Amino acid sequence: MKIGAQLYTVRMFAQNERDLGRTLEKIAGIGYEYIQVSGIGNIAPEKVKNICDQNGLKIVLTHCPEHRFLNDIGGLIKEHQMYGCRYVGLGMMSDRYRTMDMFDEFFYDFEKPLEKLHENGLHFMYHNHALEFSRLPDGRVMMDVMLERFPKELMGVTADTYWMQFAGLDVNDWLTKHADRLPCVHLKDMIPDGFTAKMAAVGSGNMNFEKILDTLRHNGVTEYALVEQDDCYGESPFCCLKSSLDYVNNILGGK
C-alpha cells in the first residue's frame, strides 16, 4: 500500500499553473510520491501531468465533474490514459440524485460510462460522505443500494474514514467487510468539537488508525491511501500533510 496526498487539501494553493508548480514541489519535498488530482484550478491536463513529472509525482486517482462522466466519457478516458492513472473518481453525486425521485436514475445514467471505463482498463471510484449511509424514505440505505447495483468490477469506493465515522459506522468493520471495493481510500482523522467534530491530521484525532492501517495494509486490495484534510482550521495544510505522513510512516515502518 502506497501513501499519497489528496490535492483537495491544498486546493487554495493550486488554482493556477504557477501555484500548482510551487505546491507540488512542496508536496514532493514533504516526501509524497503519489497524489490525487482534485479541487485544482482550470489547468490543462497536459500541463498538470508535466508539472507532476517535474516533481516526481504520480497521479493515481482523480475527482472529476459529474457532467464529464455523462457527456465526455471519451475525453475522460484519454485524459486518464495520458496521466497514467487507472482510477477515475467522482467526489459525490449531485443533489438531484440524492432524492427519492431521482436516486435510481443514477444507476441508469452511469451504467454505460462505467462500462466504457472498464473496457478501457480504467476503474470508477465513488467517494463517500456521510449522506450515502443515510436511509431513503423507503428504508433503503443509499450505499447498500450502490454496492448492489454496481458490481466491484464497475465501482470501487474511495472510503473516507472521517465521513464514515461521522455517519456512525464502525470504520474498521466496514473496511474489513468491503475490502474488495477499496483499491483507494482517504485517510482523514476526527477530533471532537463540542457537539460536532473537526477534521484532523492523521494520528492527531480519536480514530484508531493503527488498526485501520493494519487492516488496509493486509487486505490485498488497497493500493493507495491518500491523506486528506478538507479544513485545516487556520493551520498550514502543508504542515498537516507532513504530520499525517510522518504518523502513517511511523505506523507502517516507512513502507
CA distance 225 to 190: 17
**Distance, CA of 1 to CA of 217 (rounded, Å):** 6
CB 218, CB 252: distance < 8 Å: no
pLDDT at res. 46: 98
Listed residue (95, 90, 100) closest to 150, CA to CA: 90
Domain coordinates in residue numbering, the chain: 2-252
Q: What is the pTM of this model?
A: 0.97
Q: Are 7 and 91 in contact (CB under 8 A)?
A: no
Residue 254 has what pLDDT?
A: 62
Options 3.90.1140.10, 3.40.50.300, 3.40.50.360, 3.20.20.150; CATH for 2-252 is 3.20.20.150
Whose cell is 440524485? That residue is 97
Q: How far is residue 61's CA from residue 37's CA, in Å, rounded to a whole number?
A: 7
What pLDDT shows up at residue 247? Answer: 98
Give pLDDT, residue 232: 97
pLDDT digits (tens, 9 = 90+) for 102-135: 999 999 999 999 999 999 999 999 999 999 999 9
Contact 7, 32 (CB under 8 A): no
Residue 164 cell numbers, joined: 464514515
Strand ranges (DSSP E) for the chain? 2-6, 34-37, 58-63, 87-90, 123-127, 155-160, 184-187, 189-193, 196-200, 224-227
- Cα angle for residues 25, 82, 44 (degrees, 5° grid): 60
Please identify every stretch of the chain with a pLDDT value under 50, giving residue numbers as ranges: 255
